[in-house]
Amino acid sequence: MLLGLGIALGVAGIGFLCWLLFLCAVYAAPLFVAAMVCTTFYDHTMMSGSHAILAGIAAGIMVLVLGQAILVSSHDPAIRGAVSLLLVMPAALAGFGMTLGFSGLGDMGTIPAHLFATFGALCVGGAAWTRLCAIQAA
């Protein structure tokens, strides 16, 4: 009884995390930029922690707004494709890491785990690409 409940809750938890990853995949690039700016400002300048966090949040918001503004205002497919690709790459990297972590929960070998993680990266990157391509040019 308890073993079945544990398995069911484990599958539900992994399913919830995958759903959350697919939902938030579009925001991976602004989050990545915000984290990099925050750590860089905190490590290499004399900023306090709160100022570095505020600078990181501002940089992430700027990337999000600028990326969506370019996607909305541009009619050139090459520019839209390049901006979408730049916004999708961190999402695909997050999908790779998460899928590789999930495959490490079982007794999977190294090569199958990396193949499975590559498939996960393609799925998450494709989902983010689809959501970004849904943004219509004005």
Domain membership flag for residue 138: no
Domain membership flag for residue 115: yes
Name residue, tokens 């918001």: 61
What does the pLDDT look like over 16-64, one tens digit per residue? 887 887 777 788 888 888 989 998 888 887 778 888 899 999 999 999 8
Half-sphere exposure at residue 47, Cβ-oriented, CA atoms within 13 angstroms: 17
Q: How far apart are CA 80 and CA 86, in angstroms?
A: 10
Q: Which domain holds residue 39?
A: 2-133
* pLDDT of amino acid 134: 79
Domain membership flag for residue 37: yes
* pLDDT of amino acid 81: 85
What does the pLDDT look like over 78-115, one tens digit per residue? 888 888 888 888 889 888 988 888 887 777 788 888 98
Number of domains observed in the structure of the chain? 1
Name residue, tokens 């306090």: 48
Taking a C-beta distance cutoff of 8 angstroms, is the pair 109, 137 a contact? Answer: no
